Amino acid sequence: MNKCVQITTLLIVVQLAVDEAAATRPWPYYVPRDVHPPTVENADWVINDVDRFVLCKLEERGLRPAPAASKRTLVRRLFFDLIGLPPMPEDVETYLNDAAPDAYSRLVDRLLDDPRYLHAGRFRQLTDIGGSVLDGVIA
């Protein structure tokens, strides 16, 4: 399991395990509890237990998941999301030609280990706060 999936899974499980009656307390005082993945109608769409939670909420609202993105779209999204830059053509071709079932997970891990990931994350943090720590340098 790659780092991204582990972190996402942990965050979703913690969020779902929060005792709703204690919602007025600060988050460190929530009591975790055992959570079992919900049953869903479109089980063919599910790849892992996290998908069951997402799909359950979509089905409750009468929505369906979007169609799967192409490999070319996925690699572009991943590069923009994690390092803030488009992939080089050779990165796209390498990913498109990788038929291994864990190709996406390996690409996620590679980009999380890329030094540009840390830089992109810092820039997002600064822009999220409106640049106030830079005395107005970032509008």
Please state which of the ranges 25-29, 63-67, 84-88, 94-98 shows the lowest mean pLDDT.
25-29
Per-residue confidence (pLDDT) for residue 26, from 0 to 100: 72
pLDDT band for position 31 (cuts 50, 70, 90) = confident
pLDDT band for position 30 (cuts 50, 70, 90) = confident
**Residue 21 pLDDT > 60, yes or no?**
no
For residues 79 and 116, the answer to whether their CB atoms sit within 8 Å is no
**Residue 19 pLDDT > 60, yes or no?**
no
For the segment 87-100, the average pLDDT, to the nearest whole number, is 96
Where helices occur in 30-88 by DSSP H, the ranges are 49-60, 71-83
What proportions of the chain, in percent to the nearest 5, are helix, strand and coil?
A: 60, 0, 40
**Residue 109 pLDDT > 50, yes or no?**
yes
Q: Which amino acid type is present at position 87? A: P
Domain ranges within the chain, ordered by starting residue: 3-60, 71-134
Per-residue confidence (pLDDT) for residue 124, from 0 to 100: 58
